[in-house]
Chain A
Amino acid sequence: MKKVALLGAAAIAYALAAWMVAPGFYDGFGPPAPYNWTCPPAQAGANSSPSAGHLTIKVIDGVSDANSAFTDDGQLVIGFLPGAFVVDGKTSINVDITPNGSCPKPAGLEFVTNIYDVTATAAIDPQKPANLVLRYSNLLPDPSTIYTASDANGPWSAMARSQPGQPFTIETRTTRVGYFAAGYPASSPPPGAVRVGGSQLLPIIAAVLIVVVVLAGLPLAVMRRRRR
């Protein structure tokens, strides 16, 4: 009886400890990819504010230098080729990245990253597109597309996706600055490879386990009681 009580207490202690962090017990494959949210989803747990980024690109002999602007937390990186900007006599170009805190939910789209506002003091040369990388969290379904808009409230347009790079990142090439976010069409199921477990199946798995344990456990308990 004492052992059962100890096990019960340990199960309750685990439930409390796991409740405080999402998703609770998580093992073997690294923790959830850390992500700083402007509007954290319910399962995100403790959250830090996302960082902004700033870069000053030198213009040497009328050609802007190659460089990358990024947020301090690395959630957005935008790389510029040499001469990527139409400099128009400027001696330097400032690029700023700011996470947008308004978290709009455009119809027909599900964003799984923050929305970032990327501004530059010069236009990008259409012949030399910049490479834009957005990191995403594995707390939400993988994004299929990076979307861009000139206003945070839309309209949003899908961008062609580049070859996948690092895990939990999505890339595209852009010839303009503006608002960027990664997501997928709300009408389609979340994209991604074939999966096992997780996702919306989790409550069902837990429920099935409980039902099986109860249904199989009751007859076993009755049989043991009869044997005594």
Chain B
Amino acid sequence: MIASVQARTAARAGLLTLFILAAEWSRVLLAQRPGLALVALLVGGAALCASALGFPAERLGLGTSRFGLRVLGGLALGAVLLLPAAVRASTVPLLPAGFAVGAVAVSIGEEIAFRGALFAALEDLGGAPLAIVGSTLLWTLAHVMSHPPEFLGAVAAAGLLLALWRWACKDLVAPILGHVIADLAL
């Protein structure tokens, strides 16, 4: 009985992993086609959000309790994510206005997929350590196609920070908010 439940949990985590990686990589490939960058962001964001179907909101870390603290946490995470770029230089890559909606869609989608659904599935499978390490590794792997190798350290570190927040505060609102702020500002 226990083995059967564990096998089902493992299968769910495996399928989620495949789905999320496929969604991320497809989004990157689609975005490389002329004129499809914005569509790729919107469709990719929606596909990533779909990975959370079937999970109750509380299991994803979504909720309205202590909402002020969650929002404050999101602002703090946004500040931490932006600080190295802000200190280092005043000029950074700029995001065209039309892409702002796409940026928000992908930020929300990635948080719901990696720190929401995948985190919950891995936590069910092997507890918090597996959820933190696993979601961070898969988040980094998902960015292999869109980022040069030298960027992956920063990507992994950001993933670890957001996953630790998700674990420590049982909250996904702050990672979503911090991620959206960072993507919009960078």
B is a partner of A: yes
Residues of A within 8 A of B (CB): 3-4, 6-7, 10-11, 13-32, 34, 41-43, 45-46, 138-142, 166, 192-203, 205-207, 209-210, 212-213, 216-217, 220
Complex Cα distance, B36 from A56, in Å, reads 37
Chain A, residue nearest B168 (CB): A3
B76 nearest CB neighbor, chain A only? A213
B8 within 8 A of A: no
Q: Nearest Cβ in chain A — how far from B147, in angstroms? A: 5
A199 to chain B, nearest CB (A): 6
CA of A82 to CA of B109 in the docked complex: distance in angstroms?
51
Contact among A166, A198, A213 for B92, CB-based, below 8 A = A198
On chain B, the residues within 8 Å of A41 by CB distance are 89, 91
A141 and B96 alpha carbons, distance in the complex (Å) = 12
Q: A197 with B186: in contact, given A25-B154, A209-B79, A213-B72 (CB under 8 Å)?
A: yes
SS of B interface (majority): helix
Q: Which of B120-160 contact A (CB under 8 A)?
A: 143, 146-148, 150-151, 153-158, 160
Tally A-B pairs: CB < 8 A: 213
A197 in contact with B164 (CB, 8 Å): no
Q: Looking at the complex, which one of A46, A196, A205 makes contact with B86 (CB distance below 8 Å)?
A: A205
Decide: A31 and B147 in contact? CB cutoff 8 A. Answer: yes
* Most chain B CB within a 10 A radius of its CB, from A21, A31, A220: A21
Name the B residues within 8 Å of A42 (CB-CB). Answer: 88-89
Most chain-A CB neighbours within 10 Å: which of B76, B100, B161? B161
C-alpha gap A195/B184 in the complex (Å): 10
Complex Cα gap A13–B158 (Å):
9
Interface-located stretch among B15-23, B54-62, B175-183: B175-183
Known: A3-B168, A42-B89. A25 touches B155 (CB 8 A): yes
